[in-house]
Amino acid sequence: YFAEDDMSASERLEHQLVENLLREDLRPIEEAQAFQNLMTLNGWTGNQTAEALNIPASKISRALALLDLPPDVQKQVDSGKLAARSAYEVSKLPDNDTQRALATKVVDSGMTNKETANEVRHQKKVRGKPRKPAGIRQEFLCENGWKLVASSRKKSNYHELEDALLQALEDVRARIRSGLTMF
């Protein structure tokens, strides 16, 4: 165990974040922000964070999904009006207005998590829009002329995209270190 004076600023911050995550009275949005801060601080993926904290990776992804909700819905979660598990289900809806409407319905009618999940599935079916393939594709145009394309066979979020890009970057760096050439 190190004295706090022997730690760098980033080590102190990491230590404080981990202590914060271990508090039992931590609110879901605080927990999600702590996960996100820890990931940013260490350049970790969700899986690496889960491994370091010895918790399921699904807990990290569910928590991070709460940060994608509109701020007013996050406040409902933070205040305890909307359960975090129900809010996670709400986060699966495609846009902020639909998320807000269901969050209000859940709070006003006291829907359970299971009822919320069923309502999300129902709303996705009823939309009547042709179903897109489950995958996702994102293109990024870089100033130096490169065009990066990221695609996934499953529905994803920006946190998962970031994890994938970090893994790809690690692979590129390993190839550079190995002296591999592209052409």
Q: What is the DSSP letter of 82?
A: S
Judge whether residue 181 has pLDDT over 60.
Answer: yes
Q: At a CB cut-off of 8 Å and minimum separation 6, what does 134 contact?
A: 153, 154, 155
Judge whether residue 4 has pLDDT over 90.
Answer: no
Could you tell me which of 44, 106, 115 has the C-alpha nearest to residue 80? 106
Residue 31's pLDDT band, with cuts at 50, 70 and 90, is confident
Quick one: average pLDDT of 9-34?
76
Of 1 and 91, the one with more pLDDT? 91
Length of the chain equals 183
Judge whether residue 1 has pLDDT over 60.
Answer: no
Q: What is the DSSP letter of 133?
A: P
pLDDT tens sequence across 126-154: 765 555 556 788 888 888 888 888 888 88
pLDDT at 130: 54
| Sign of the CA dihedral running 163, 169, 172, 178 | negative
Could you tell me which of 67, 52, 113 has the C-alpha nearest to residue 86? 113
Q: What is the DSSP letter of 144?
A: T
Per the prediction, the chain carries an average pLDDT of 84
Could you tell me which of 17, 39, 41 has the C-alpha nearest to residue 30? 17
How far, in Å, CA of 159 to CA of 151, rounded?
Answer: 14
The angle formed by the CA atoms of residues 130, 132 and 133, to the nearest 5 degrees, is 140
CA distances to 84, 110, 119, 166 from 81, rounded to whole Å, are: 9, 9, 18, 36
Judge whether residue 76 has pLDDT over 80.
Answer: yes
Q: Are 157 and 64 in contact (CB under 8 A)?
A: yes
Q: Are 77 and 84 in contact (CB under 8 A)?
A: yes
The angle formed by the CA atoms of residues 123, 115 and 36, to the nearest 5 degrees, is 80
How far, in Å, CA of 7 to CA of 147, rounded?
Answer: 41
